[in-house]
Amino acid sequence: MDRNFAARRRRDLIVAAVLAALAALAPLFVKDVYVQNILILTLMYAALSQSWNILSGYCGQISLGHALYFGIGAYTTELLFTKFGVLPWFGMLAGGAIAAVIAMGLGYPFFRLRGHYFVIATIVIAEIGLLLFQNWEWAGAAMGITIPVRGDSWLKFQFMRSKLPYFYFALALCCLAWFVTWWLEDSKWGFWWRAVKDNPEAAESLGVVVFNSKMGAAAVSAFLVAIGGAFYAQFLAYIDPESVMGFQFSLLMALPAVLGGIGTLWGPVLGAAILIPMTELTRSFIGGSGRGVDLIVYGTLIVLIALALPQGLVSLFSRSKAKGATR
C-alpha cells in the first residue's frame, strides 16, 4: 500500500504540472473577456475550495463560515491600501495572517463543538462579522470601499486594460492551494487530520494532539482563503460587506469540494471546473429573465449529483482512486 501511495503521489504531481501548464496556455486561445472572466472565477473558487477542504474535508470540521476569512482578506487589503497606502501584496499577507489568527482564536472555543452545533456556530460567527462590517462606519459600512485606480501595474496589483494578470494570479493561487494540500497529505499533519476525522477519541488515545491538529488545519485554511479574498477585492476593484462576506461565499467554497469529492486531493478542482462555469452560464443565459429558471436548473443538478454520486465526481475515475478518496 505504501508503494502505491508513493506512486499515486508522484502521478498526482505530474498530472497537476501538466494541467497547470495547459491552463497557463489557455489565454492564447481564449480571447473573449467573458470567457476569461469565467476562467478566473473558476480558478479562484478551485483555490478557495481546496483551502476549505483542508479544514472541512481532511480534518472533518465542516465550516460554512469561511466567508468570514474571505471578507477579512478583502477588507484588510483594501483598508490598508486606501487608508494607509500599503501595497496590496503586503495587505494580502496581513489579511492572511489576521484570518489565521482569528481562525485559531475562534477554534479555541469552537472545536469543542460537534456536528451540527459546530456548523451552525461557523455560520453564525460569519453572520456576526457581516453585520459588524455593515455597521462599521470607518470601513465604509454597507456602502463599502471603492478601490482607487492607480494605473495598471504588478506592483499595485491592479489591472484595468486586460484581465490576464488576474488569470495568472488565480492560476498561481490555485496551484499553491493544491500543492499545499498535496504536501500536507503525506505529512504528519495529514495523517493526524484523517485520524481526527475518522475517530477523534481513538486518535487522541494514540497520541494525536487532536486540538492542535484542528487548530493547524483552521489556520492554513483561513490563511489561503483570505489570500483569495484579497485577490477578489483587487479583481472587483470594489467591495462591500455583502459582496465579500455574504453567506453565498461560504457555500461556493464548500460546493465544489463536495461535488468533486470532499477530503480528496482532486475533488475541489474537479468540482469547481464543473460547478462554476455551470453557475455562470446558467446565470447569464437563462437567468437574465429574472424568472428563476437558472435556480431551478442549478438546484436540480445539485440534487441529482448528490444522489447519483455520493462520493463526488472523483469516484467516476478508476476504483483505486475512489478507494483513495475514502481512505
Q: How far is the CB of 132 from other proteins (least distance, A)?
A: 8
Q: Which CB sits closer to other proteins, 69 or 118?
A: 118
Q: Give me 205's grid cell.
A: 488515545
Q: Which residues, other chains included, contact 153 with Cβ-Cβ below 8 Å and sequence gap of 6+?
A: none
Under the criterion CB under 8 A, does residue 33 sit at the interface with other proteins?
Answer: no
Q: How far is the CB of 265 from other proteins (least distance, A)?
A: 16
Under the criterion CB under 8 A, does residue 248 sit at the interface with other proteins?
Answer: no
Q: Give me 138's grid cell.
A: 470607518
Under the criterion CB under 8 A, does residue 105 sit at the interface with other proteins?
Answer: no
Task: Identify the residue among 134, 191, 210, 274 touching other proteins (CB under 8 A).
Answer: 134
Q: Which CB sits closer to other proteins, 99 or 259?
A: 259
Question: By CB under 8 A, how many residues form the interface with other proteins?
Answer: 43
Measured in degrees and rounded to the nearest 5, phi and psi for residue 195 equal -65, -40
Residue 313 near residue 257 (C-beta atoms within 8 A): no
Judged by CB under 8 A, the stretch of 3-11, 23-31, 127-135, 211-219 that binds other proteins is 127-135
254-273 residues near other proteins, rule: CB under 8 A: 255, 258, 262
Under the criterion CB under 8 A, does residue 300 sit at the interface with other proteins?
Answer: yes
Residue 271 near residue 258 (C-beta atoms within 8 A): yes
Residue 167 near residue 156 (C-beta atoms within 8 A): no
278-297 residues near other proteins, rule: CB under 8 A: 290-297
Q: Quick one: how far is CA 127 from the chain centroid?
A: 18
- What is the Cα–Cα distance from 26 to 234, expressed in whole angstroms? 22
Rounded to the nearest 10 degrees, what angle do helices 164-185 and 188-198 cross at? 80
Give the footprint of other proteins on this chain (CB under 8 A). Answer: 109, 112-117, 120-121, 123-125, 127-128, 131-132, 134-135, 255, 258, 262, 290-307, 310-312, 326
